[in-house]
Amino acid sequence: MNDIKKIAVLKGDYIGPEIMAAGLAVLKAATDSQQFKYELIDLPFGGDGIDRAGDPLPQSTIDQAKQADAILLSAIGGPKWDQAPRRPEQGLLEIRAALNLFANIRPTKITDRQVDRSPLKKAYVTGTDFVIVRELTSGAYFGKPRELQAHQAIDTMYYNESEVVRIMHEGFKMAQKRRHHVTIVDKSNVLATSKFWRNIAKEIAPQYPDVMVDYYYVDAMTMAIMSKPTAFDVIITPNLFGDILSDEAAQITGSIGQIPSMSVGSEGPNLYEPIHGSAPDIAGKGIANPISMVNTVAMMLSESFGEKAIAEKIYRAVDAVIDQGDVTPDMGGDLSTEAVTQKMIMHIQSDE
């Protein structure tokens, strides 16, 4: 008898719940006739946390998320909570810390059918396939003091040895399963935390003799992501630079509405989320692109549950709707979120 997987669902704000519904519908369809059994645990979080439980990250959400086998999160935040004492984003930072999700993994892969959607010329992007490994629980996002005073303000970038060591191993190990190439990004010609970062990378690199390593300053990296994206495999970066570079990387695909991400810790469940925001401007119109959340669900099935075959079936359904132009307006189609989702489910159900 199979055990039942617990999936925590943090449904998000604005378009968040719309695409979450799509993702869950696809999850159900793809697992219906399979051995894979799960239950969903709906937890208040972000703006929805403020509305339903008075806080973007209620303690009960932390407690229950920790008990889950995986966490599915949709885009959060938006103008409704701009004046909240604790904004939705605060909940996002704190759940990363509370669950010790120190590595954020963001794939940038440009399939042949995506090349036309890229703002970059075909010759530059064709064949792009890299992953950004972003440190997620330290650096400029968590250093203290962080103070907003009347006439000045301070943030602190901080890294200690174990924080840098573990993210390096995460990235190097990933490279061993991929194309054996790691790129270290920092600003070590200026910042002490970056010198520290690079020094540790240089100590760890020899432990992975099968991995080729190179080093970029973050400013030069923004150029390289655009001018030679095919030159990279695994990119390891501090928190703040990872935030910046992963958005740039998403943009070269021209398909930010399709990209999933995964955050992992040393123990406890992984957290899966689309990389885009909650798009308040199109919320409620029924036209949000469900593909990012559907890909996020597939990533969860594959990475947390080892259900690679089911994930592949979902990816085929995504490819099918894109090929047939059965997509939302942001991708040049004229279908609703609901209609695209139904098309994907049809493909899944007829997939042998």
Ligand X SMILES: CC(C)[C@H](C(=O)O)[C@@H](O)C(=O)O
- Enzyme catalytic residues: 141, 187, 219, 243, 247
Find the shortest distance in angstroms from Cβ 259 to ligand X: 11
* Residue 346 binding result from a copy of itself, ligand X, none, given CB thresholds of 5 to 8 Å by partner type: none
* Residue 220 binding result from ligand X, a copy of itself, none, given CB thresholds of 5 to 8 Å by partner type: a copy of itself
Nearer Cβ to a copy of itself (238/269):
238
Structure tokens at 302: 């594959």
Give the Cα separation of 129 and 131 in Å (integer): 7
**Residue 299 CA from chain centroid, whole number:** 10
89: contact with ligand X by CB under 6 A = yes
189: contact with ligand X by CB under 6 A = yes
Nearer Cβ to a copy of itself (93/205):
93
Crossing angle of the two packed helices 15-31 and 308-323, in degrees rounded to 10: 120
Structure tokens at 278: 């909650």
Host H or E run for residue 92: helix 88-98
Nearer Cβ to a copy of itself (248/312):
248
Find the shortest distance in angstroms from Cβ 32 to a copy of itself: 37
Nearer Cβ to a copy of itself (229/269):
229
Of how many residues is the chain composed? 352
Residues that bind a copy of itself (CB under 8 A): 77, 87, 89, 93, 118-121, 124, 140-141, 143, 146-148, 151-161, 187, 189-197, 218-220, 222-223, 226-227, 240-241, 243-248, 250-252, 254, 256, 277
Nearer Cβ to ligand X (159/208):
159
190: contact with ligand X by CB under 6 A = yes
219: contact with ligand X by CB under 6 A = yes
Give the Cα separation of 326 and 331 in Å (integer): 9
Nearest Cα residue to 170 out of 211, 199, 110, 142: 211
Strands, sheet with 270-274, edge to edge from the N-terminal-most edge strand? 37-42, 4-10, 70-73, 270-274, 260-264, 103-109, 129-135, 234-237, 181-186, 212-217
Q: Which residues bind ligand X (CB under 6 A)?
A: 89, 92, 189-190, 219, 243
